[in-house]
Amino acid sequence: MPHTTPEKLTIAILAAENNTSPWMASSTLVDTWTVHNAENLYKHLLTNKADIFLIELEANSDKRLEIIAHLANTYSESAIIALCQHGDNRSAINALQLGAERCLYQPLSEELLVLNIDKALQKQAHSLANKVAENDAGTWLLDLQRWTLVSPAKLKLKLTEKEFLFI
């Protein structure tokens, strides 16, 4: 994957109920976890971070669209990529309006998916750099996704669960 980061990239996949094969296998650069319903997604997010959300939309996917809206509001630092069925323009439009950064039609090649993930990460990095530059020089930042405290000098401190809950 062209994107380079010191931390392992984590991709959360909300797959269709009938999809039993993983979209992407974990590697030394990418860690993935797959769930098939909202309840399991939210439970997993209590203890695991996600840099990218892949949300597979099904026919009549109003609940999945609600999930996209919730993730966009709650995890605004993470990119959301909706995976729509070929020709389902209504779901694609709704997903983008509700907060998905990208919408791809299935079936799609792994190369196309990887390039879209990389572009989303580049945009995230640029956005985060701008936010840090806008903050005062003496401001500490708490990264809720990675449980990391960032000092004004841009030093990152990984927090334990107890430290994170205390802060």
Rounded to whole angstroms, what are the CA distances from 132 to 52, 77, 106, 110, 143? 20, 13, 36, 33, 12
Tell me the pLDDT tens digit for each residue of 63-122. 999 999 999 999 888 999 999 988 889 999 999 999 999 999 988 888 999 898 888 888
CA pair distance 49, 55, nearest whole angstrom: 15
- The pTM of this model reads 0.70
**Local structure of 80: helix, strand or coil:** strand
Residue 17 and residue 58 in contact, taking contact as beta carbons nearer than 8 Å: yes
Share of the chain above pLDDT 90, in %: 38
Side-chain-side CA neighbours of residue 7 (13 Å): 15
Tell me the pLDDT tens digit for each residue of 14-64. 998 776 554 555 555 678 899 999 999 999 999 988 999 999 998 778 899
Helical axes 89-98 vs 62-74, angle rounded to 10°: 20
